[in-house]
Amino acid sequence: MAFLLALWPLLLAAQPTFTRQQFGEGFLFGTATASYQIEGAVKEGGRGPSIWDTFTHTKGKIARGENGDVTADFYHRYADDLALLDSMHFKNFRFSISWSRIFPDGTGTPNPEGVAFYHRVIDACLQRGITPWITIYHWDLPQALQDKGGWTNREILVWFADYADFLTKTYGAKVKHWMVLNEPTAFTAGGYFAGIHAPGEKGLKNFLKAAHHAALCQAEGGRIIRRNVPGALVGTTFSCADEQAYRPHKKSDRRTRRRFEAVFNRMFIEPALGMGYTVDALPVLKKIEKKIARPGDMERLQFDFDFIGVQTYTRQVVKHSIWPPIIWGKEIKPAKRGISPENITEMGWEAYPEGIYHLLKHFASYKGVRRIIVTENGAAFPDRVENGAVNDTRRLQYYQEYLTQVLRAKNEGVPVEGYFCWTLMDNFEWAEGYKPRFGLVYVDFATQQRIVKKSGRWFQAFLK
């Protein structure tokens, strides 16, 4: 009996409690990717080095010493990969453009081979009736710009504006769906404060500068898209979990929770909404206003996005700690909280479907947020190829449980209008390397063979 009870959640995964029609005809389903994680071909087609090329080739930075030099080889295999996407009946494809493939030196003369590559990708999407969604910046800053300080250098406002201006003028006639930044909290905190992501810088001063400049570029990028692309749908994305997901371990940890919320939920959306930085819960951000911002900056942070992209995978239970500084708190890992192993992903994250419901309700409560799209959601679980198939039942269950909660929020009036799976295919998962597999499509990185997983086959039937 105990064995059957343990299997019951997996058996239920084949029996979703919703249909495609319940989401509505206009609800969008797609998959999301990122250039460095899938393209490979890092020294081909005139591409210059990015901070992730440098970081992954620095000893001790990436699990097992892995890198994204080849990864899923999308650069050469994009046509076949888009055919797989089409076969699963997804009609929306989110991808990012490699800044250093367009401008090998970060600025200056554009690289015609890089420009042509993205034209081919866009055209291949359109030929299949797939809508391309471009993310302008998904973490892979040209190394040449990092050599000048990267996001800590205020000149990045000019570099980024020129880059965004070129992209929108070049591809705007074909592409009407745009996102400015991917998860600015993640790339500024991870790359310029904690040093766990490229470029590996540390320190509060670096973080505050990088964060402020990213927030300014977020708004300026929105203005550039709107100016250059008539009829564009303009958004940007945030990694987040709402206040009910940042659970305090005990009552005395409530201030810790507010600090987590201030950094991971509020820090970039509220300036865009004209609310300023979250100094109420994180007074250290006053240093931005007093020492980093220039006259007019606080007004320049504002932009009325057509939609916000929310990206969530888990929840965090937090408690007070003397380290790290700023947030003075840390997560209590799921295993320490007694979460069962089958509900902990290979990233060490808890599968907590109700969290996405609370998240959507929370962001819908902001005045000025009229449209929400889940621009990333997914899970990494161990995958095995058996008899030529990958039966990723636990990932399928994850998707079905999270989609149930998205539909719940939608039915309660939350203006959520789309859902993008992370991700189309297994890829290079940043500092974690290749072990965590998030894809709907299995990739054998030695042979580049693709296998649509059970989760992908379920979406194929669901979306048909």
200-253 pLDDT tens trace? 999 999 999 999 999 999 999 999 999 999 999 999 999 987 555 556 667 668
Residue 202 near residue 184, CB atoms below 8 Å: no
Q: Which pLDDT belongs to residue 36?
A: 98
CATH of the domain at 207: 3.20.20.80
Residue 41 has a pLDDT of 98
Confidence of residue 9 (pLDDT cuts 50, 70, 90): very low
Cβ-count burial of 336 within 10 angstroms (0-12 exposed, 13-18 middle, 19+ buried)?
A: exposed
d(CA 462, CA 464): 6
Average pLDDT estimate for 336-346: 96
Count up the domains in the chain and report the number.
1
Q: Is residue 278, in this structure, part of any structural domain at all? A: yes
Residue at 10 is within a domain: no
String of DSSP letters for 56-99: HTSTTSSGGG--SSSTT-HHHHHHHHHHHHHHTT--EEEEE--H
Specify whether the CB–CB gap between 179 and 138 falls below 8 A.
no
- Is residue 16 assigned to a domain? no
Q: What is the per-residue pLDDT for 251?
A: 67
pLDDT at 6 over 50: no
Residue range 257-270, pLDDT digits in tens: 899 999 999 999 99
Residue 200 lies in a domain: yes
93, 85 in Cβ contact below 8 A?
Answer: yes
- Residue 9, domain member (yes or no): no
pTM of the predicted model over 0.85: yes
Residue 323 has, within 13 A of its CA and on its CB side, a CA count of 1
Checking DSSP bridges between strand 441-444 and strand 92-96, what pairing results, if any? unpaired
Per-residue model confidence (pLDDT) at position 326: 82
Residue 5: inside a domain: no
In a domain, 205, yes or no: yes
Measured distance CA(256)–CA(221) in Å, rounded:
32
pLDDT tens across 286-335, in order?
999 999 999 999 999 999 999 999 999 999 888 989 888 888 999 899 99
The pLDDT of residue 252: 66
Above 50 in pLDDT, residue 188?
Answer: yes
Look up tokens 């000149």; give the residue: 155
CA distance 99 to 86: 27
**Stronger pLDDT, 21 or 240, i.e. the higher one:** 21
In this predicted model, which residue has the larger pLDDT, 31 or 244?
A: 31
Tally the C-alpha atoms within 13 A of residue 64's C-alpha that lie toward its C-beta.
Answer: 11
Cβ-in-10-Å burial (0-12, 13-18, 19+) of 173 comes to exposed
Q: What is the pLDDT of residues 98-149, one digit of tens each?
A: 999 999 999 999 999 999 999 999 999 999 999 999 999 999 999 999 999 9
**What pLDDT sits at residue 272?**
98
Q: Which are the catalytic amino acids?
A: 183, 376
Q: What residue numbers bound the domain in which 377 lies?
A: 25-463
Q: Which pLDDT does position 409 carry in this prediction?
A: 98
Q: What is the reported pLDDT for 438?
A: 98
Q: Say if CB 348 and CB 392 are below 8 A apart.
A: no
Cα(179)–Cα(335) distance, rounded to whole angstroms? 35
Task: Report the C-alpha gap between 455 and 210 in whole angstroms.
Answer: 38
Residue 452 lies in a domain: yes
Number of neighbouring beta carbons within 10 Å of residue 72: 28
pLDDT the model gives residue 5: 40
